[in-house]
C-alpha cells in the first residue's frame, strides 16, 4: 500500500520507517526543510536504538522517502497519517490541536482519490470528528474516511513495540476504512497480534486511559516508597510482593524520582482537563499529577540531607539527565527539577549522559558536561544516579568513592544496595524507598 505520513517527529518517523519495513510504500512529509534534508542524507534527528539502520535499509529498498511537498506525498496514497505534535497548551492544560487541524485542512486541499485519514497523534476525545468536519468543510467533494490509530511506543524500545505490540487499536466508522487499516497492519495480524477495532471515541479514550493508568502505577509506588523510608520497609521487596499478583503485574512498579517524558505529563494533564470540561473530574489523575511533582521535590530534599543541609559550594556529579535511558528526550525529565535546584542552591554541578547533551545544554544552564562518570566524580561531595543508563549499572563503585572528596551516593533508581555502597567505601548511601 502507499502511505503518506505527516510529521517526522518521534511518532511519525518511527511509524513511517516501520510501515515501510512491513513492505508498504511510505512517504514522510514535514514542513521543516532542515529536517527533511537531513533525513534525505540518512541522518536521524532523534536517538532511538536501531532506527538509523532500519531507515537506511528501507530507503535503499525504495520503500521509504522524504519530502516537503504534501501533494507529492499524497499522490496515490490509500492512507494519510497525521502524526504531528499535540503539546500541552499554555494556560489551560488542554492538548494543543493547532497542528492537527492545520494538517487536516492541507489534506483536504490535496486529496484526490479515496483515502483513510488516520490520526496517529494523541488527541482528546472528539478530535477525529472535528478532523472529519474540517476536511468536509474545506473540500465538500473529498472522498475519505477518518480513523483513530493511537500509538503505544516506549522511547528506547519503539521499534520492538511497533513490530511486536501488545495490541493495535483502530477506531473506524466504516467497513471500508477498517479494510484499509487491516491491510496496513496485515503483517501483525498474520502473526496473531491483537487488532482491536472500536469506534472513534473509544480509540481516543484508550490512549489517555492507558497512559493515565501507567502514570498512576508509577506514582503509587513512589508514594509507597516514601512511606517505606519512614517505617523501615524496602520498596523493592514491596514491589516484587505486589507485582507477583496477576491482577497488579510487576511493570511500572519501580520507585524513582517521578515520571517524565513526552507522553505521561501532557496526557495526564489533557485527561484531567477533558474531565473538567465534561463536568466529570478525573480526581485520581489530578492527584497523580500533583503527587508526581511532589516526588521530584522530595528528591531534592533527599539530596539536601546528603549535603548537610546546603548545596552552596558543594561539587556534585549527576549521572543521567534524560527522562529515561536509551533516548535523548529531556521533556519533563525529573532532572529539569532536580538539577536547577542544585545549581540554584550554589552547587558546582557536572553532568554525564550518553545522549542528553544535545538537548540538555539549553535546558540545564550552569552545569559542566563531562563524558566519563569517573572523571565527573573526581573530587566531588556527592554523586547522584538519576537515569539508569546501562553504563551506570555496573560502575566500579570503589573507584568512584576513592576519588571523591566526600564519598556520598544518591541512588535515585535503586540500582545498587547498601552492601554495595558500604563495601565500596561510601560514607553515606541513599536510595528510594529503602
CA angle 163, 203, 334 (to 5 degrees): 70
Q: Which three cell numbers stand for residue 34?
A: 532542515
Please state, in angstroms and rounded to a whole number, the distance separating the CA atoms of residues 420 and 434.
14
Which residues lie below 8 Å from residue 372, measured CB to CB, with a gap of 6+? 352
Please state, in angstroms and rounded to a whole number, the distance separating the CA atoms of residues 121 and 11.
8
Task: For cell 515501510, name the residue.
Answer: 20
Whether the CB-CB separation of 295 and 332 falls below 8 Å is answered with no
Q: Is 20 helix (H, G, I), strand (E, B) or coil?
A: helix
Beta pairing partners, 25: 2
Whether the CB-CB separation of 329 and 397 falls below 8 Å is answered with no
**What percent of the residues of the chain are helix, what percent strand, and what percent coil, each to the nearest 5?**
45, 15, 40
Active site residue 28: no
Would you give the distance in Å from CA 251 to the centre of its chain? Answer: 16
Which is the catalytic residue, given 228, 263, 280, 307?
Answer: 263
Give the CA diameter of the chain: 75
Please state, in angstroms and rounded to a whole number, the distance separating the CA atoms of residues 234 and 228.
6
Closest-CA residue to 341 (of 333, 349, 331): 349
Closest-CA residue to 171 (of 148, 151, 194): 148
Write the CA distances from 41 to 9, 335, 393, integer angstroms. Answer: 17, 33, 35
Q: Which three cell numbers stand for residue 321?
A: 539527565
Would you give the distance in Å from CA 274 to the centre of its chain? Answer: 21
Question: Can you give the C-alpha Rg of the chain in angstroms?
Answer: 23
What residues are labeled active site? 263
Amino acid at each position: 500500500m502507499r502511505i503518506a505520513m505527516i510529521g517526522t517527529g518521534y511518532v511519525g518517523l518511527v511509524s513511517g520507517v516501520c510501515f515501510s519495513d512491513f513492505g508498504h510504500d511510505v512517504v514522510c512529509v514535514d514542513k521543516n526543510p532542515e529536517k527533511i534534508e537531513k533525513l534525505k542524507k540518512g541522518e536521524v534527528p532523534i536517538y532511538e536504538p536501531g532506527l538509523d539502520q532500519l531507515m537506511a535499509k528501507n530507503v535503499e529498498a525504495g520503500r521509504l522517502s522524504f519530502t516537503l511537498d504534501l501533494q507529492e506525498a499524497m499522490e496515490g496514497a490509500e492512507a494519510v497519517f497525521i502524526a504531528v505534535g499535540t503539546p500541552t497548551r499554555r494556560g489551560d492544560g488542554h492538548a494543543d490541536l493547532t497542528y492537527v487541524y492545520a494538517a487536516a485542512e492541507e489534506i483536504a486541499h490535496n486529496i484526490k482519490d479515496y483515502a483513510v485519514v488516520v490520526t496517529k497523534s494523541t488527541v482528546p476525545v472528539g478530535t477525529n470528528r472535528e478532523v472529519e468536519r474540517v476536511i468536509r468543510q474545506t473540500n465538500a467533494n473529498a472522498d475519505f474516511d477518518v480513523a483513530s490509530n493511537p500509538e503505544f511506543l516506549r522511547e528506547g524500545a519503539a521499534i520492538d513495540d511497533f513490530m511486536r505490540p501488545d495490541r493495535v487499536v483502530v477506531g473506524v466508522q466504516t467497513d471500508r476504512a477498517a479494510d484499509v487499516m487491516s491491510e496496513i497492519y496485515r503483517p501483525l495480524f498474520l502473526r496473531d497480534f491483537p487488532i482491536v477495532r472500536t469506534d472513534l471515541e473509544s480509540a481516543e479514550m484508550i490512549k489517555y486511559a492507558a497512559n493515565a493508568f501507567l502514570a498512576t502505577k508509577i506514582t503509587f509506588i513512589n508514594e509507597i516508597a516514601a512511606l517505606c523510608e519512614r517505617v523501615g520497609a524496602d520498596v523493592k521487596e514491596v514491589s516484587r510482593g505486589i507485582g507477583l499478583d496477576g491482577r497488579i503485574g510487576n511493570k511500572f512498579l519501580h520507585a524513582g524520582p517521578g515520571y517524565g517524558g513526552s507522553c505521561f505529563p501532557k496526557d495526564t494533564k489533557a485527561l484531567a482537563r477533558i474531565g473538567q470540561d465534561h463536568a466529570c473530574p478525573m480526581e485520581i489523575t489530578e492527584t497523580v499529577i500533583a503527587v508526581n511533582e511532589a516526588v521530584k521535590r522530595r528528591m531534592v530534599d533527599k539530596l539536601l540531607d546528603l549535603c548537610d543541609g546546603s548545596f552552596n559550594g558543594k561539587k556534585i556529579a549527576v549521572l543521567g539527565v534524560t527522562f529515561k535511558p536509551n533516548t535523548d528526550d529531556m521533556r519533563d525529565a525529573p532532572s529539569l527539577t532536580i538539577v536547577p535546584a542544585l545549581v540554584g542552591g550554589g552547587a558546582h554541578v557536572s553532568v554525564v549522559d550518553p545522549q542528553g547533551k544535545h538537548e540538555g545544554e539549553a535546558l540545564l544552564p550552569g552545569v559542566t558536561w563531562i563524558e566519563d562518570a569517573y572523571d565527573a566524580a573526581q573530587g566531588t561531595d556527592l554523586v547522584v544516579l538519576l537515569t539508569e543508563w546501562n553504563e551506570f549499572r555496573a560502575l566500579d563503585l570503589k573507584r568512584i568513592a576513592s576519588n571523591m572528596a566526600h564519598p556520598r551516593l544518591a541512588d535515585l533508581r535503586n540500582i545498587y544496595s547498601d552492601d554495595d555502597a558500604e563495601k565500596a567505601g561510601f560514607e553515606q548511601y541513599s536510595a528510594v524507598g529503602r
